[in-house]
Structure 1
Amino acid sequence: MLSLPWKTFRILLMLLGGGTLLALLLFLAGNVWVLTSTSGRIETELAKCQPRQVGIIFGTSHWTRSGARNPHFEGRMRAAAGLIQERKVDHLLLSGDNSTRYYNEPITMWKDLLDRGVPESAMTLDYAGFSTFDTLIRARDVFTVQRALLVTQDWHLPRALFIADALGIEVQGCVAPTQPSDGTWRLRAREWLARVATLGDLYVWGREPHFLGPQEPLQITPRPDLSVAAPASEGDTARESEHDSSASTPQ
């Protein structure tokens, strides 16, 4: 006959095993939900990306830890410039992290795109895009974006599209081309975890953005051949978000 301590140990093992299995199933189910609900709105070829008045470009570091140019940054910039040149979008919202005076993703994107021939009037800088969630909720609540083309890598787009859907923004995804790199597998693996965390942000603990501020509707100069474009505000000068927190203003 089994002793009481052994019976207790077996029960604990069974509970632990059952809990682990349940967590694994929830993890897989969460990822499947995000991937299947967004897969039909991701275009892998730049020329086939659906026209939108606004393209949202997600920030990332210009350099890798090894000091090389970040291929993911390069891919996003190439896609953003191509969308403007191909008249797929009228305006780019460059949203990224500017948490310290030495790290400024929006300004870095802006300078790079200027070098690629993108006019200043076609860009607005958002310095408080500290995360995918923050970028999208600020796009909706600060910059009053209702429809947009999201531009980032294929492993990031499903989560970005899913968040936008939950926030009520009508979006399509356009894949930014990227050369393979040694660290990409880590980013893809981390994205599996991030998708599940996003479900918690949206439906469990009700995540709030780091900083919002008053509305600053985008000032867009519409292109006459962009037939799907909605009515835009008047103005033709490059803009920065004027009411960000001190941590997100340009340094």
Structure 2
Amino acid sequence: MTLGAAALLAALLFVAANLWVLGRTHSRIEQTLPMCGGERVGIVFGTSHWTRSGVRNPYFDARMSASARLLRLGRVDHLLLSGDNRTRFYNEPVTMWRDLRGRQVADADMTLDYAGFSTFDTLVRARDVFGVEEAVLITQAWHLPRALYIADAVGLEVTGCAVPSPSRRVSGEWRLQAREWVARVAILGDLYLWGREPHFLGPLEPLEVAPPFWEAWLFPEMPETPTR
């Protein structure tokens, strides 16, 4: 009976923790891509270019397609591409950069973060290394609640942009979503119990965000008044 009661309590706490994270964030998740953004910076979370079965990862494609479209629509002005680069054989930021260049995104509109080993690391580094204060987070809908919750906890002002779902069913999607339920509980411990820190920080390197084209058109620089 004691073990049963403990298991029931653990299950209730597990569900309650997830509902807490979902409840605190759902109102700031935009599901319609053209309505996303409205911030200067979009943070794009890295993921593998390929699945374990050796086919192109549709979640990666969805993030890249959405990011490029948000730039074209003028919903963001700059993309912070943050991902894992633990070894020279695996480099998520460079893979994102190459893909986006193929989608006609200019180099000046992208910054690469090579130490975004986790959602937590990406968001703390965005604040402490790249000087980001406000941003839109670009990723799948099931990932956004945890990302938004972490961003709130570290003091970022963010909204979430849910990228469109793949047109075809993805094998093992249920495992990703189940893992996300566990990750939401784990992040509460990281934030409030264990004092988690990112793997690497570094000196402040503020993003160089080019002004949107319409800003230069509407507000041209006034000529200097000649001195006499």
Moved more, 171-180 or 127-136: 171-180
Q: Which residue of 2 aligns with 1:184?
A: 173
Q: Which residue of 2 aligns with 1:222?
A: 211
Shift of 1:164: 0.1
Q: Which residue of 2 aligns with 1:128?
A: 115
- 2:191 aligned with 1:210: no
Q: Which residue of 2 aligns with 1:112?
A: 99
Shift of 1:119: 0.4
Match runs of 1:77-226 below 5 Å:
77-179=64-166, 180-225=169-214
What letter corresponds to residue 70 of structure 1 in structure 2? N
Kept in 2, the 8 Å contact 1:74–1:178? The answer is no
Kept in 2, the 8 Å contact 1:136–1:163? The answer is yes
* Structure 2: runs of 5+ lacking an equivalent: 216-228
Moved more, 178-187 or 210-219: 178-187
Aligned identity (percent) is 65
Kept in 2, the 8 Å contact 1:142–1:213? The answer is yes
Moved over 3 A (4+): none
Instruction: Name the SS of the counterpart of 2:185 in structure 1.
Output: helix
Kept in 1, the 8 Å contact 2:37–2:70? The answer is no
Shift of 1:178: 2.9
* Structure 1: runs of 5+ lacking an equivalent: 1-13, 227-251
Kept in 2, the 8 Å contact 1:106–1:127? The answer is yes
- Whichever of the two has the greater Rg, that structure is 1
Q: Which residue of 2 aligns with 1:37?
A: 24
If the length of structure 1 is used for normalisation, what is the TM-score?
A: 0.83
Instruction: Name the SS of the counterpart of 1:17 in structure 2.
Output: helix
Question: Using the alignment, how far apart are the partners of 2:97 and 2:148 within structure 1?
Answer: 23
Shift of 1:225: 4.2
- 2:43 aligned with 1:56: yes
Instruction: Name the SS of the counterpart of 2:152 in structure 1.
Output: helix
Question: Using the alignment, how far apart are the partners of 1:144 and 1:134 within structure 2?
Answer: 14
Shift of 1:222: 1.6
Shift of 1:224: 4.8
Question: Using the alignment, how far apart are the partners of 1:160 and 1:36 within structure 2?
Answer: 13
Q: CA RMSD in A?
A: 0.9
In the alignment of these two chains, the number of paired residues is 213
